[in-house]
Amino acid sequence: MDFQDILLQQIINGLSLGAMYSLLALGFTMVYGIIELINFAHFNVFMVGSFFGLWVLEATGLIGQRSTLEGLPLIGVLLLAFVCTMLLSGLLGIVIERAALRSVRQLRGTAPMILTIGISYILYNVILLTVGADTHNFANPIPVVKWQIGGAVLQLREVLLWSVSLVLMAGLHFFVRHTRIGKAMQATAQDQEAARMMGVEVDRVVILAFFIGSALAGAAGLIFGLYYNFTSYVIGYSAGLRAFTAAVLGGIGNIAGAMIGGLIIGLIESLGGQFIAVRWTDVIIFSILILVLVLRPTGLMGLSVPQKS
């Protein structure tokens, strides 16, 4: 492999990582944009989502890496898996909001955030105690197809990962910009009181934000499983922290910022690992985060974050 090949390969790796971080970062950003809450439960909604995906795939009879599908059955199974996983994860998000967060939404200060950390740990331990601590082999119906681009290798599952992420992000963008309820969300984000006076049902908007954010986390969880072919109860922490960083980097509360932030973090991770050393990855990522925040406190997509009056 010469230099260009290595660079290209690491960019492919980085974009795949980045696509996953972007999807996760969207959940942080949506909830923050609307109720200014950093939702740490999101880390482990992602992890639980990957298990939902695993169970749906296993329910269709796909276990381990041996049974691959092609053509229509493949598309059918993937569609089914994504729809079910996203619905289940979205519902989990709604349950979290209804059962715990709504009652503390009016509280100022850090209490609601601490509560989300608690929920995160509950999810973590529930999975640990029910499915166990070992690494679970993830079903993988996607056939191994590789394309050689110079010395670099592009795989079918990477292309699928990018496409699914793109479709989901484009869908979200369209939804927020061009539908009535999406506009209601934007209005709530800008000024909750005014939106309420204009007839927006704020509770519904908040629930919807949790549903969509969690559904995207579920999708990211499923993608994670399909991409790495494993899942375990510990996966939420590292991916969640990076995605949260991506959201802050892009400008928390800003949807386009979350996507771009995710891609940047993914690329930093792969290129930093190649040209410096993998063991320094976290140091590199967080140094860049600090640098960006010092120079541009509102993040890269620097629109001012809506302030609660």
Partner 1 sequence: MKTQKGLLAKQMLGAVGVAALLGFGALSAQAQTKTVTIGITLPLTGADAQSATLIKNGAQLAIDEANAKGAIKGYKIETIVLDSGTATAGQYDPAQAATNTKKLVSNKAVVANIGPQMSGEGKAMSPILSAGNLATITPSSTNPDITSPKFKDQFRPNGKAVYFRTVTTDAYQGPNMANYFADTLKVKSVYVLDDSGAYGVGIADTFQKQAEARGIKVLGRDQLNPKEADYTTILTKIKAANPDGLYYGGVAQAGVKLVKQAYDIVPKMIKGGGDGMVGPEYLKGAGFPAAEGWYATIASPHLLADPAAKAMIESFKKKYGTSPDDYAITSYDAAQVIIDSIKRVVATGKPVTRDAVRDAIQSAKVKTLQGEVSFDENGDIVSKVVSVFQIHKDPAHPEDDVEYQYKYVGVAPASS
Q: By the criterion CB under 8 A, which residues form the site for partner 1?
A: 1, 5-6, 9-10, 13-14, 16-17, 64-65, 124-125, 128-129, 132-137, 155, 224, 228-230, 232-235, 237-239, 269-270, 273-274, 277-279, 281-282
Query: CB within 8 A of 106, min separation 6: which ones?
Result: none
Sign of CA dihedral 153, 7, 270, 294: negative
- Considering the complex, state which of residue 180 and residue 279 has its C-beta at the smaller distance from partner 1: 279
Contact 232, 11 (CB under 8 A): no
The rounded distance, in Å, linking the Cα atoms of 268 and 247 is 15
Q: For residue 7, give Cα distances in angstroms to 2, 16, 84, 278, 290.
A: 9, 14, 37, 15, 26
- Considering the complex, state which of residue 52 and residue 210 has its C-beta at the smaller distance from partner 1: 52
Q: Can you state the angle between helices 41-59 and 111-131, rounded to 10 degrees?
A: 30
- Considering the complex, state which of residue 214 and residue 270 has its C-beta at the smaller distance from partner 1: 270
- Considering the complex, state which of residue 32 and residue 43 has its C-beta at the smaller distance from partner 1: 43
Strand (E) positions, 134-262? 136-137, 146-149, 152-155, 230-231
The rounded distance, in Å, linking the Cα atoms of 260 and 152 is 24
- Considering the complex, state which of residue 211 and residue 227 has its C-beta at the smaller distance from partner 1: 227
Report, in angstroms and rounded to the nearest whole number, the Rg of the chain calculated over CA atoms.
Answer: 19
Q: Residue 1 Cβ, how far from partner 1 at the closest point, in Å?
A: 4
Q: Residue 263 Cβ, how far from partner 1 at the closest point, in Å?
A: 15
- Considering the complex, state which of residue 120 and residue 188 has its C-beta at the smaller distance from partner 1: 120
